Amino acid sequence: MPADTVPVTGWGRTAPTAACLIRPRTYEEAAAAVRDCGARGGIPRGLGRAYGDAAQNAGGAVFDMTGLDRIHVIDAAAGIVLCDAGVSLHRLMEVLLPLGWFVPVTPGTRYVTVGGAIGADIHGKNHHVSGSFSRHVLSLELLTADGEIRTVGRDTPLFDATCGGMGLTGMILTATVRLQPVETSLMTVDTERARDLDDLMARLTAGDHRHRYSVAWIDLLARGATTGRAVLTRGDHAPLDALPRGTRARREPLAFRTSRFPAAPAFLPEGLLTRTTVGAFNELWYRRAPRARTGELQRISTFFHPLDGVPHWNRIYGRGGFVQYQFVVGHGQEDAVRRIVRRVSERRCPSFLAVLKRFGDADPGWLSFPVPGWTLALDIPAGLPGLGTFLDELDQEVAAAGGRVYLAKDSRLRPELLAGMYPRLDDFRALRAELDPRGVFVSDLARRLAL
């Protein structure tokens, strides 16, 4: 094996496999890397925020795309950017906010690349208004297994296979993305507390349409009558006249400010996150949230990306790592959500990051995750006894309700359930078989689930 073979994991730090890491700096180097990647193929990788094994390729090549990070064209009048796939959303915000533009969709972290955002067809707190990331992609350039660079426009099978295609259709080199205009770099945020799950779901249903961004943090350790109690946070981009006069914020309304805490230490003991510690945290988090507060001004980083302030926060789960479970079920399947929340609560999973939100209309990506309905995401330490079996049971609930789990976060789904969750899977497989008959683009996720 080559000397630069290194162990690679996803953000959850489970199931490491070894791959040869290649970091192309030019499109020619990228094409050469794809051409020469050997019998076990290769997979593009951005900033490694996929939780599971989507950007790992055991025994083969992993193409680190962060070396391709140029922003080519910004059309500040029309709000369109053309950039390399390795550019991060963080970088785009730094460059675009002073010009009055914001990324159309951001997940809970700014440290994802544009290529990764398309490959996972990411969603954000504005899905009910703005859909997933691919809705804002006007076109992209894709380096396919035959070594050609194709310009892929909307409404083509290759576009729909690539958006949410987990990097398996080829290597995205550039993308043209439509942006969101903003007057300021601050958010006006409304916060309210929901005393239980029914209260929460009623509030989300009644009020989501009034805000561009909406999300609820759930205390999954609360039991009994308070099962599903939550803090609901909704926001909009603050208009200029919402900023108080005479302040620094008003003088520099489009400045992009972030805060950064020290990184989590490299070695943390196992079992830091127990029912007791997480329970105490959840209690505090719920109590410190205001019962109802409106119009609070928050930075973009505070509202969207609180965890980005702590580099390597994934280390707090210790060496054993963690799994993130995210599923969606359609409207009308509220009972499935209730059952799953109750089961997680009763099982006392120490999860301090549990988020519920309502998705709006789906986008056409064949393996794209969002469908209209309810989505719940939760982090759980991988070392929790019996967790594998428990999550398999939740999968059954989700599948029975016609829902699906998110591939960018998956690290343990049973392959048998996949086709039921993603009805366009066979189309995806057929397109890959035709486009890439030798299986050049392949990942651990693809092998595990036979994508």
Q: Which stretch binds another protein (CB under 8 A): 1-9, 74-82, 249-257, 419-427?
A: 1-9
42 binds another protein (CB under 8 A): no
CB of 171 to another protein, least distance (A): 20
417 binds another protein (CB under 8 A): no
Rounded Cα distance between 318 and 110, Å, is 23
Residue closer to another protein (CB basis): 15 or 114: 15
7 binds another protein (CB under 8 A): yes
Instruction: Out of 21, 29, 59, 191, point to the residue binding another protein (CB under 8 A).
Output: 59
Instruction: Out of 11, 12, 152, 203, point to the residue binding another protein (CB under 8 A).
Output: 12
444 binds another protein (CB under 8 A): yes
383 binds another protein (CB under 8 A): yes
Find all residues with CB under 8 Å of 434, minimum gap 6, and list them. none
Residue closer to another protein (CB basis): 97 or 382: 382
Q: Which stretch binds another protein (CB under 8 A): 130-138, 187-195, 293-301, 411-419?
A: 411-419
CB of 2 to another protein, least distance (A): 11
Instruction: Out of 17, 139, 258, 298, point to the residue binding another protein (CB under 8 A).
Output: 17
274 binds another protein (CB under 8 A): no
Report the site for another protein in 22-41 (rule: CB under 8 A). 40
CB of 90 to another protein, least distance (A): 27
How many chain residues interact with another protein (CB under 8 A)?
A: 33
CB of 8 to another protein, least distance (A): 8
Q: How far does Cα 163 stand from its chain's mean position? A: 13
Tokens for 405, please give them.
């789990």
CB of 449 to another protein, least distance (A): 9
CB of 107 to another protein, least distance (A): 20
- How would you list the strands of the sheet with 61-64, edge to edge? 5-8, 17-22, 61-64, 42-45
Residue closer to another protein (CB basis): 15 or 201: 15
* 3-class DSSP string for 283-335: HHHHHHCCCEEEEEEEEHHHHHCHHHHCCCHHHHHCCCCEEEEEEEEECCCHH
400 binds another protein (CB under 8 A): no
Report the site for another protein in 285-304 (rule: CB under 8 A). none
57 binds another protein (CB under 8 A): yes
Residue closer to another protein (CB basis): 52 or 373: 52
Q: Are 169 and 142 in contact (CB under 8 A)?
A: yes
Tokens for 111, please give them.
């440290």
86 binds another protein (CB under 8 A): no
Rounded Cα distance between 364 and 336, Å, is 25
Instruction: Out of 143, 249, 367, 382, point to the residue binding another protein (CB under 8 A).
Output: 382
Q: Which stretch binds another protein (CB under 8 A): 110-118, 121-129, 283-291, 412-420?
A: 412-420
271 binds another protein (CB under 8 A): no
- In the chain, the largest separation of any two C-alpha atoms, in whole Å, equals 63
Report the site for another protein in 315-374 (rule: CB under 8 A). 320-321, 323
389 binds another protein (CB under 8 A): yes
Residue closer to another protein (CB basis): 15 or 297: 15
Instruction: Out of 58, 122, 337, 435, point to the residue binding another protein (CB under 8 A).
Output: 58
Instruction: Out of 22, 53, 122, 218, point to the residue binding another protein (CB under 8 A).
Output: 53
Give Cα separations from 448 to 46, 54, 117 (angstroms): 20, 10, 22
15 binds another protein (CB under 8 A): yes
Report the site for another protein in 135-154 (rule: CB under 8 A). none
167 binds another protein (CB under 8 A): no
What residue ranges bind another protein (CB under 8 A)? 1, 5-7, 12, 14-19, 40, 52-53, 57-60, 320-321, 323, 382-383, 387-389, 411-412, 414-415, 444, 447-448
